[in-house]
């Protein structure tokens, strides 16, 4: 008689060749059998079973890409084809350009319409004469809509008044400028100093828009800016989608859009509506 220990040991010993069970090849010779196994495998996948995981039920949606990838170790890399495909909005985004890269401006009618549109947005009083009071009113409105107080409120008001003093105040005297004077001023500058000024002007405006100082314009901050300037909802949503990345607008994207608006004569540019529908 064999002791219990020897029986346990014999269980792990390799049996003689004659005692091998009938081996079953994983590659059946019969093609019908192979086809049957493939079908069974596919049906298991369709039902959400994963044969390589001991047939446990996987609660993935039936036939989802994820379930098939989990069940097939060869497909261990995620499918990035959809992620690489640009969205419709991404496809219409113009390539960022520096102000100096634009060709000389010929003062065309379309470009002048853009300027008159921006003039109307800034002329909050609607008097036809752009004055310091317009910029004070815009600053006050941005503070009110943003619920700002203290130093931050003073900073926003200060930026708007500085924009008036540095970029719009008539150097020849007088309390304000008309739309014609505004356009004439831009015609004198667009092929010269405006190429630098538009970046500095945009940086100042960005400071007033960025209420929490994180160097990005959130959707809410952009809403406050457009409401204070009288820019319509449709243009607001369209421009934000064009400029945003990861849900907010970075400074370089805003500066690029602003430069396009003030310098480009391209009628197909989507940034033509940065200050709302053209007048």
Task: Judge whether 69 and 75 are in contact, CB under 8 Å.
Answer: yes
User: Does residue number 214 form part of the binding site for Ca ion (CB under 5 A)?
Assistant: yes
Nearest CA-CA partner of 195 in 108, 122, 258? 258
Task: Judge whether 209 and 221 are in contact, CB under 8 Å.
Answer: yes
What minimum distance in Å lies between the beta carbon of 234 and Ca ion?
A: 23
Give the nearer residue to Ca ion in terms of CB position, either 99 or 202.
202
Give the nearer residue to Ca ion in terms of CB position, either 62 or 212.
212
What minimum distance in Å lies between the beta carbon of 212 and Ca ion?
A: 5
- For the chain, the C-alpha Rg in angstroms (whole number) is 34
User: Does residue number 75 form part of the binding site for Ca ion (CB under 5 A)?
Assistant: no
What minimum distance in Å lies between the beta carbon of 167 and Ca ion?
A: 23
What minimum distance in Å lies between the beta carbon of 221 and Ca ion?
A: 5
Distance CA 259, CA 121 (A): 17
Q: How far is CA 93 from the centre of its chain?
A: 10
- From candidates 210, 253, 260, 265, binder to Ca ion by CB under 5 A: 210
User: In this chain, which stretch among 7-15, 21-29, 90-98, 213-221 interacts with Ca ion, using CB under 5 A?
Assistant: 213-221
User: Does residue number 212 form part of the binding site for Ca ion (CB under 5 A)?
Assistant: yes
**Inter-CA distances, 14 with 6, 18, 25, Å:** 14, 11, 20
Distance CA 252, CA 275 (A): 18
Residue 237, burial from CB neighbour count under 10 angstroms (0-12, 13-18, 19+)? middle
Give the nearer residue to Ca ion in terms of CB position, either 63 or 212.
212
Nearest CA-CA partner of 138 in 116, 111, 161, 168? 161
Give the nearer residue to Ca ion in terms of CB position, either 224 or 259.
224
Give the nearer residue to Ca ion in terms of CB position, either 129 or 250.
250
Task: Judge whether 199 and 255 are in contact, CB under 8 Å.
Answer: yes
User: In this chain, which stretch among 29-37, 71-79, 97-105, 209-217 interacts with Ca ion, using CB under 5 A?
Assistant: 209-217
> Which residue reads 């752009």 in tokens?
130
Give the nearer residue to Ca ion in terms of CB position, either 133 or 155.
155
Give the nearer residue to Ca ion in terms of CB position, either 183 or 250.
250
User: In this chain, which stretch among 37-45, 162-170, 205-213, 222-230 interacts with Ca ion, using CB under 5 A?
Assistant: 205-213
**Inter-CA distances, 262 with 204, 226, 275, Å:** 16, 17, 11
User: In this chain, which stretch among 71-79, 126-134, 216-224, 235-243 interacts with Ca ion, using CB under 5 A?
Assistant: 216-224
Distance CA 141, CA 80 (A): 45
User: In this chain, which stretch among 159-167, 176-184, 188-196, 203-211 interacts with Ca ion, using CB under 5 A?
Assistant: 203-211
User: How many chain residues bind Ca ion (CB under 5 A)?
Assistant: 4
Within 13 Å and on the Cβ side, how many CA atoms surround 93? 19
Which DSSP category does 98 fall into? -
Site string for Ca ion, 220-259 (x = CB under 5 A): ----------------------------------------
Q: Contact positions toward Ca ion, by CB under 5 A? A: 210, 212, 214, 216
């Amino acid at each position: 008689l064999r002791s219990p220990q020897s029986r346990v040991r014999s269980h792990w010993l390799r049996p003689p060749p004659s005692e091998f069970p009938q081996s079953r090849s994983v590659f059946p010779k019969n093609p019908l059998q192979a086809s049957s196994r493939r079908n069974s495998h596919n049906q298991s996948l369709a039902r959400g079973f994963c044969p390589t995981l001991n047939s446990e039920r996987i609660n993935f949606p039936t036939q989802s890409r994820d379930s098939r990838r989990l069940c097939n170790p060869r497909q261990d890399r995620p499918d990035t084809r959809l992620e690489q495909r640009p969205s419709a909005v991404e496809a219409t985004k113009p390539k960022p350009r520096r102000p100096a890269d634009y060709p000389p401006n010929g003062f065309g009618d379309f470009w002048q319409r853009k300027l008159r549109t921006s003039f109307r947005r800034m002329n909050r009083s609607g008097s036809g004469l752009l004055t310091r009071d317009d910029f004070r009113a815009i600053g006050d409105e941005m503070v009110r809509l943003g619920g700002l107080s203290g130093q931050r409120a003073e900073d926003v008001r200060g930026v708007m008044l500085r924009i008036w003093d540095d970029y719009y105040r008539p150097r020849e005297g007088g309390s304000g400028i008309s739309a014609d004077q505004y356009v004439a001023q831009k015609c004198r500058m667009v092929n010269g100093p405006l190429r630098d000024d538009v970046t500095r002007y945009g940086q100042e405006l960005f400071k007033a828009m960025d209420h929490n100082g994180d160097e990005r314009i959130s959707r809410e901050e952009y809403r406050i800016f457009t409401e204070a300037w009288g820019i319509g909802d449709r243009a607001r949503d369209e421009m934000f989608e064009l400029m945003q990345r990861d849900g907010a607008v970075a400074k370089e994207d805003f500066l690029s859009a602003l430069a396009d608006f003030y310098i480009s004569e391209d009628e197909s540019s989507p940034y033509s509506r940065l200050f709302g529908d053209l007048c």
